[in-house]
Amino acid sequence: MQKGMHIDTERCVRAVRSKDARFDGWFFTAVLTTGIYCRPSCPVVPPKPENMVFHPSAAACQQAGFRACKRCRPDTSPGSPEWNQRADAVARAMRLIADGTVDREGVPGLAARLGYSTRQVERQLLAELGAGPLALARAQRAQTARLLIETTALPMTEIAFAAGFSSVRTFNDTVREVFALAPSDLRARAPKRTAGPAGGPGPGGTHGPARTPGALASSGTPAALSLRLPFRAPLTPDNLFGHLAATAVPGVEEWRDGSYRRTLRLPHGHGFVALAPRPDHIACRLTLTDPRDLTVAISRCRRLLDLDADPVAVDDRLRTDPVLAPLVDKAPGRRVPRTVDEAEFAVRAVLGQQVSTAAARTHAARLVTAHGEPVTDPDPEGGLTHLFPSPEALADLDPETLALPRARRATLTTLVRALMDGGLRLGVESDWPEARAKLLALPGFGPWTADVIAMRALGDPDAFLPTDLGIRRAARELGLPATPAALTAHAAAWRPWRAYAVQYLWATDSHPINVLPA
């Protein structure tokens, strides 16, 4: 699979005929005779090739006058893996749009974050995706509206504004145009599902939301919303959830009843999320203080679990190395555990320099206790009490209060200042090479710290950790070059997926980060 796949008509037709779900999100099929658009894996009988046209985004289909298929629900397919593996302006723009930037700051805000003019951004998105930033954000709002309509008891007026629409009329018109149904009809047609174990949907559900009566109730009291996060198979959850659970900071994160749970700092408030692996989806249970944060929360959870990755492309490349091939065949589809807050992870990476996982948790827990923000609403299901301290909350940190070596205290305070004054920007819009260079320029930041932040916070799929103790141990045991320079040279054949090779190498160890908790 590659950039611009929608222009390869022959390949797209083969994908549609094979109903291969791996292509969902890479392109969309618009059917000229019916006026609908579908995901490649749509279960209906494929149309004739001459009646199919292909678009790179749902927004482009909608702009061309097509409505979403009611059978395959193309708006709920996994996102394109391209936005995770690329660092150019279009990919960064798509990550920002998914994070709600256009809804909060408009197209000028999007352009400012990217360092381009609004005209440049619009031209680039239109050229590659067939739709500009407003149309792409509108398609996302439509999906959020559908989710709220089908899974909550909120009145339509509240749903309209929670989904990001400027008026109820625009909301009604968009829903009718995209789904060919009025909002009330869409709610009436929604499958009646009940929540299954650990907040997941009950048997018989499909990828998408689970109906939870009263979720996000209009009374103003936060209530849970259960939904299913789809992913491209295969997915091996052991190292993904094992890593998050083993490094969980008390009060901010926990493993409880088969789910990884944590607090979320969101644009309009805070939230709690519980995420649990299932054979064909991730069960997600969200409790939000403001329903306007739903789209952002889902986007950040997907990013945390690397759910929009293309495991087939990754594993096919890594299998070309005879040393890695058995590791991939044993547990295909490993993901990179990432983060919901880039600044938080950078702080935690500094706290974890040259110490054990347990020690890093202890240092982070002390920081949370002293400087974290207590949540205003109690956690209804467990022991989550705080949001991790923001850079602003750490601005007046007295380094003498930290039980860290003096050099590491200086590293931490320097990082906080860089994040505060804007000299260092870590976010979905970050240019990966530029951010890595700025990290390396900070005192106390070596290649390991910069690259672990690039891998897990920035999402660079090619970040590599040749000096990491676990990687060097695995290399020796597997017969790979043991020195960082030699291992880096050998790993050139793994590009652009070296971050995933790190996961396979780490998994050769019996460390708790590689074990799915009971």
Select which of 12, 24, 38, 451 is catalytic: 38
- Nearest-angstrom CA–CA distance, 202 and 220: 26
Q: What is the pLDDT of residues 450-501, one digit of tens each?
A: 999 999 999 999 999 999 999 999 999 999 998 999 999 999 999 999 999 9
- Output the average pLDDT for the chain: 89
Q: With a cut of 70, say whether residue 196 has pLDDT above it.
A: no
> Which pair of structure tokens corresponds to residue 132?
């500009």
Select which of 308, 341, 451, 468 is catalytic: 468
Contact 392, 372 (CB under 8 A): no
Q: Is the peptide bond before 512 cis (omega within 30 degrees of 0)?
A: no
| pLDDT (mean) for 307-323 | 95
Residue 468 catalytic? yes
Strand ranges (DSSP E) for 424-482? none
pTM of the model: 0.87
Residue 72 catalytic? no
Decide: residue 511, CB within 10 A, 0-12 exposed, 13-18 middle, 19+ buried: middle
Decide: residue 479, CB within 10 A, 0-12 exposed, 13-18 middle, 19+ buried: exposed
Task: State residue 3's pLDDT score.
Answer: 56
Confidence of residue 221 (pLDDT cuts 50, 70, 90): low
Q: With a cut of 90, say whether residue 314 has pLDDT above it.
A: yes
